[in-house]
Chain A
Amino acid sequence: DIQMTQSPSSLSASVGDRVTITCRASQSISSYLNWYQQRPGKAPQLLIYAASSLQSGVPSRFSGSGSGTDFTLTISCLQPEDFASYYCQQSDNTPYTFGQGTKLEIK
């Protein structure tokens, strides 16, 4: 299995801040990397697919970059609704493993 390692596991920030979450794959996954947001009690929602493509309807303050083994999710100007958990997932080879998640909290 491909292991996905996210950091940090938790993050405190303020409205308006710029934050970055990183994800590292245990082997190259090309650009088969997706990012999801999950609010408490809700299903995950796709934010970014193919490492850097913004899913339809997702605000442009979200962006993704990277290829191979190292990836980042950046939120450029935090809004109140962005405080949630974030997961990376590789979809290069099954099992399509997830990272352990990053919980973004209000400072």
Chain B
Amino acid sequence: QITLKESGPMQVKPTQTLTLTCSFSGFSLITSGVGVAWIRQPPGKALEWVALIHSNDDKRYSPSLKSRLSITKDTSKNQVVLTMANMDPADTATYYCAHMYGSGLYGMDVWGQGTTVTVSS
């Protein structure tokens, strides 16, 4: 059974760097074709795709956020870490991580419960 869980601070100040961790079980990021994506959702708004890391360490970012993002994996800990620099109140959102397989063809089939981040001074 695949599970994912996001963790990180509930609140950060503007200009600070956010670090979120996705801890997962039931799959390995060593397995070919597997990926973990980050998606966010501002309050009352639509889902926004943020970043993706594949088992081969291929990394993809949202172009609008790319200059502020870094995604890494720790296969020994079964974790994916997303960092977002220079946080702004507009980055207030629930952040989800999700499992992917097969270069997108099979969608994001398992999601974490999400973690809510508020950006405020």
Contacts and interface: CB of A to CB of B under 8 A. Distances in A.
A87 interface: yes
A44 B111 contact: yes
Contacts of A34: 107-108
8 closest A-B pairs by CB: A91-B104, A34-B107, A49-B107, A94-B60, A43-B111, A98-B47, A96-B49, A95-B62
Interface of B: 37, 39, 46-49, 52, 60-63, 96, 100, 103-109, 111-114
Nearest to B113: A43
Contacts of B47: 36, 38, 44, 87, 89, 98, 101
Contacts, number: 67
A65 interface: no
Main secondary structure of the interface of A (DSSP, over half): loop
Given A43-B96, A45-B111, A91-B107, 13 more contacts: A43-B114, A44-B39, A46-B109, A87-B46, A87-B47, A89-B47, A91-B100, A91-B104, A91-B105, A94-B52, A98-B39, A100-B46, A101-B47
Contact of A89 (B49, B63, B109, B112): B49
A49 B106 contact: yes
A50 interface: yes
A95 B60 contact: yes
